[in-house]
Amino acid sequence: MKKSLFTFIFILILSFIGKAQALRFFEFSTNCGHGNWQDTTFIASTSNQATIDSVLANLARPLIQRNFINGPIYYGNGGHNHNANHWFLWHFIPNQWNLVELAIELCDGCPYTDVDTDTAYWVGTVGQFCPWSGRPVREVLDPALPVNTLTLDEDVTIFPNPAKNEIVLKCTGLNKFNVSIYNSIGQELYSTSLFEKKKSLNISNLSTGLYFLKISDTNKSTTKKLLKE
């Protein structure tokens, strides 16, 4: 009986794991009116498949026709809400936001300055954010995948960048390293191990756009941006 119960629980756990969705990250436009570059985009995350499908469907439309993000916000950047090297003091609570056709004035404003009191007002009093300009722009990589990690960054050089058909990858101080190429939504397109400190890679089969190269050895890694022309 105990064995049968254990087997049932084990299968149930596996079914939940199989159904679990990884968080996906989306960049949204915004126009707070400050004129600061930091307040032009932000990032929200979700693993809710219905929300993911809704965002992807919106991304297929012209920007002006896309719906607006709406949902509760909380303190801290949540490990993902940033614009370039600027990390916000707030974030949308994952899986609790969605897209709506209309944004109302009550929760439209500017919760994302560097002022703690401003963040406290928006999180503690308003508790919700629905920017009129908060339309989805693109899907982005998990911010946990580091860009230009310092531990290996100075040892790796990529040129030319932007590039058209070929890049040269130069890694000083490494005898063997792994190279992986990801597209802008985090899908791995190519992976190989190299034993030369200077190696040419053919990228002619890649479409024009932004890519990420992850270079790693046994205990260090870095991720470089690559623009394909």
Q: Can you give the length of the chain in residues? A: 229
Domain final residue pick, 93, 115, 140: 140
- Identity of residue 169: L
Domains: count for the chain: 2
Structure tokens at 32: 């707070």
CATH number for the domain harbouring residue 215: 2.60.40.3080
**β-strands 90-92, 41-46: how paired?**
unpaired
Q: pLDDT by residue for the chain (229 residues), tens digit each?
A: 555 544 444 444 444 433 446 899 999 988 766 666 777 889 999 999 999 999 999 988 888 899 999 999 998 888 899 887 778 888 999 999 999 998 777 787 777 655 566 788 888 888 899 888 899 988 888 776 544 443 556 678 889 888 999 998 888 766 677 888 887 666 778 888 877 777 888 999 998 888 888 887 766 677 778 888 8
Cβ pair 168, 207 in contact under 8 A: no
Q: Position of tokens 């899908």?
A: 187
Domain interval for residue 94: 14-140
- Beta-strand runs (E) in 103-208: 128-129, 136-140, 156-159, 166-171, 177-182, 188-194, 198-202
- 111 plus 162 within the same structural domain: no
Distance from the first to the final alpha carbon of the chain: 64
3-class state of residue 53 by DSSP: helix
What are the angstrom distances between the C-alpha of 120 and each of 34, 50, 81, 82, 130?
A: 19, 30, 17, 18, 17
User: What are the two backbone dihedrals, phi and then psi, of residue 223, each rounded to the nearest 5 degrees?
Assistant: -125, 125
- pLDDT of 192 reads 84
Q: Is residue 103 part of a domain?
A: yes
CA distance 18 to 12: 10
Residue 201: strand pairing partners: 167
- Beta-strand runs (E) in the chain: 24-29, 41-46, 68-75, 82-83, 86-87, 90-92, 98-100, 128-129, 136-140, 156-159, 166-171, 177-182, 188-194, 198-202, 209-216, 221-228
Q: Is residue 191 part of a domain?
A: yes
Q: DSSP letter string over 71-88?
A: EEEEES-TTT-EETTEE-
3-class state of residue 200 by DSSP: strand
- 20 plus 130 within the same structural domain: yes
Domain final residue pick, 112, 140, 168: 140
